[in-house]
Amino acid sequence: MVRTVYSPEYCLQYLEQYASKEIFVIGLILGQSTAARENVIHLARTPDEKSSESASEASYVSDKVETKTLLNVSEAWVADHAKHVTRMLPGGMFVQGIFITSDEDIFEEPNSFSKVKSIVNHIYKAMNTNQYMFGNCPNSNERFMLHMSTSTKVLTCKSIEVGAPAKSTVIKPVEWKFLPKAQQWQRLDCYYEFDDVYPVIVKKSGISVKQQFQQILESAHKTIESSIMFIDGELKDNSEVLEQLFKKKKPKTNSKSAQQELPKSMNVSLFVPFENSLPETVEYLECDGSIHFSGVVSSSVFMYPKATVSETIAAVKQDIIRSLASRFTMHCDALIDDNLLPEEKVCFNEPPRRVLVPVGALYLCDYLFPGEAPAEALLSVRELLDLKITEADVICDVETPADTSEFDALDRDASSEELLATPQEASQFMYITGICFAMFVLIVSIIIHYYDGIVKVLSKVLSK
């Protein structure tokens, strides 16, 4: 059975735009794979690689010298582009393959086809380096290879199995359909709050911010995976379809438009079972410090309406962990000093916050560091997604900047820390107080004892 992929019609116009210029272009296919259907949401051209003499390896610029042939493409460069783009994707969406516009037939020319397979497999391996980024779709190991000829404008798509030995690689034809109307998506919004304290234990080799964040990610992943998801306040069966959930609640009406309309969004809540929130074993450790990890992650996931509840649950959980992994990576890359225990007794770290950017009928995301304006997101969207949007299109209020008032208070209190009694001083104070109290009781008892004798003697003298 031939696999069918659906994408918006503007993707065809996007391909024709570059094919008409008769230039070589390579880029990423972004989409969502569910049991019901394969949906592509966007095609993002990979920026041309700059020479090491003029820029750093991580820089992306789309208006430099064109890459002329497929054989000149760096697999690592395309894979790096895929890693950056994956950070911008909501949960449940992945890099599904690559597209190419060129004059040669990449499926017939042996060297070109070998190069394409190498690029796709390189992306797959690069995505496996960070398990919490969820770079690879867990449901399928197949990736798309879409080609449009610049001379004939013929479109051809095939799928390849990644991660398999070269000799056993299976190539399958794929039917690509463009939808004249915008694809409907079901939006699910979730706000997940973190408020945990993690111990900091410095070993002989030391510990860095990156290592500690990795431990937080591991803990958060276990907690979120064990959580139970409620949609609009109700526990749903995993086999139910999102579209059916709305129909059950929809009031009876004769309006055809009302029957076809999906709810703007569904609210998702994650609850952690009490037994899963406790550690398996309790260990008493001497810590060198602690990290108070606090904040709210805003999650907006877009699912195909015929997706199941189980697929939706996986997408929401992926989104929260992917967002944390993205922020931690960006934050650690921006640090000048990776030392976890600075000279200051209180240290405040604020990872970038999430903003939403429109792509077609749904939203992807970007991250802004403290002090950055929405204009910074425009640069990322242009370079990584090959899209032009305005500053007004960026939704910046899904997450608010961190409140540093509590940190400021802790910072002030740290300066007066030496005024407090140490544990040894406190125990000495209590010991001295105990001796004084015992002496007081002894004196009072002696006075009472002799008081009785004095009273008797006086009573005899007075009687005489």
Confidence of residue 360 (pLDDT cuts 50, 70, 90): confident
pLDDT given at position 57: 42
d(CA 262, CA 15): 30
pLDDT > 90 in the chain, percent: 54
This prediction has a pTM of 0.81
Asked if pLDDT for residue 454 goes beyond 70, the answer is no
Q: What does the CA dihedral 384, 382, 9, 77 come to, rounded to 10 degrees?
A: -20
Mean pLDDT on 71-97 = 96
11 backbone dihedrals φ, ψ, rounded to 5°: -65, -35
Q: Write the pLDDT tens digit of every residue in 4-20.
A: 999 999 999 999 999 99
pLDDT given at position 402: 73
- How many residues appear in the chain? 464
Mean pLDDT on 224-246 = 92
Average pLDDT, the chain: 81
Asked if pLDDT for residue 65 goes beyond 90, the answer is no
Beta bridge partners of 301: 188
Mean pLDDT on 72-90 = 96
Confidence of residue 209 (pLDDT cuts 50, 70, 90): confident
pLDDT given at position 249: 65
Asked which of 35-39, 209-213, 230-234, 409-413 is least confident by mean pLDDT, the reply is: 409-413
Confidence of residue 427 (pLDDT cuts 50, 70, 90): very low
Confidence of residue 133 (pLDDT cuts 50, 70, 90): very high
Q: Write the pLDDT tens digit of every residue in 278-314.
A: 566 656 667 777 888 889 999 999 999 999 999 999 9
Ranges of each domain in the chain? 3-179, 186-402
- Specify which of 27-36, 200-209, 394-403 reaches the highest per-range mean pLDDT: 27-36
> CB-hemisphere CA count at 13 Å for 451?
6
CATH 3.90.79.10 correct for 3-179: no
pLDDT given at position 201: 76
Task: Choose between 123 and 198: higher pLDDT.
Answer: 123
d(CA 193, CA 117): 42
Closest CA to 137 of 322, 11, 328, 1: 322
pLDDT given at position 77: 96
pLDDT given at position 256: 52
Confidence of residue 335 (pLDDT cuts 50, 70, 90): confident
d(CA 304, CA 311): 10
